[in-house]
Amino acid sequence: MSGDLRRHAPAAARNRGPILAVLRDWLPAEGLVLEVASGSGEHAVHFAAALPGLVFQPSDPDPSALASIDAWAAGMANIRPAVRLDAAAAEWAVGAVDAVVCINMIHIAPWAAAEGLVRGAAARLAAGAPLVLYGPYRVGGAHTAPSNAAFDAALRARDPAWGVRELEAVSALAAAEGFGPPELREMPANNLMLRFRRG
């Protein structure tokens, strides 16, 4: 018996339009884009359909996510089969890429995942190439909205290693791996998009 493997993430359906609008500005017109933590795969499919000059390489550590991504991407020429990738791992099954995108991961994983993401992106991007992040951030030591403070508390109650990250800490991590300071876009629901460029 074979069921429909496609998962649905309601947040992805809500935020994919605003994220795509920024990616149109921030990603190169052509090349290979590694998405880390693709989840259901709905983002990769939406972005690949709208940005036909790019090829997307989705990834996730969760096997059921990989099955969902591949089910959503069936028949699309510019999405590669999803690969298993834990950002915190020393080895990634992906070589050089032209951009790295990661949406809503670093606050729902231990800090080691953020460290690995930045380290792995730095090792695969040429000078000037972007690492693009999306999610909630604390800025200047404070939450940007009460809803983000409540979300942070809920994350930490679920796993003390999780939590909304400090923009300055992520920027320092990126700087230590050779990225420049981030460009910022304010997004709906008190999220931010960050673009770090490899120095």
Ligand X SMILES: C[S@@+](CC[C@H](N)C(=O)[O-])C[C@H]1O[C@@H](n2cnc3c(N)ncnc32)[C@H](O)[C@@H]1O
Question: Could you list the residues that contact ligand X (CB under 6 A)?
Answer: 9, 11-12, 36-40, 43, 60-62, 65, 86-88, 103-105, 108-109, 113
C-beta of 174: minimal distance to ligand X in Å? 17
Q: Least Å distance between CB 35 and ligand X? A: 7
Of 65 and 100, the one with the shorter C-beta distance to ligand X is: 65
Closer CB to ligand X, 35 or 98, in the complex:
35
Q: Can you tell me the distance from the alpha carbon of 6 to that of 21, in angstroms, rounded to the nearest whole number?
A: 24
Q: Closer CB to ligand X, residue 42 or residue 98?
A: 42
Q: Is the separation of the CB atoms in 106 and 136 below 8 Å?
A: no
End-to-end Cα spacing for the chain: 50
Residue 27 CB, shortest distance to ligand X, in Å, is 16
In the complex, least distance from residue 114 CB atom to ligand X, rounded to whole angstroms: 9
Residue 39 vs 130, nearer CB to ligand X: 39
Contact (Cβ atoms closer than 8 angstroms) between residue 136 and residue 190: yes
Sign of CA dihedral 147, 161, 182, 30: negative
Cα distance between residue 105 and residue 113, in whole Å: 8
Identify which of 88, 103, 87 has the alpha carbon closest to the alpha carbon of residue 41.
Answer: 103
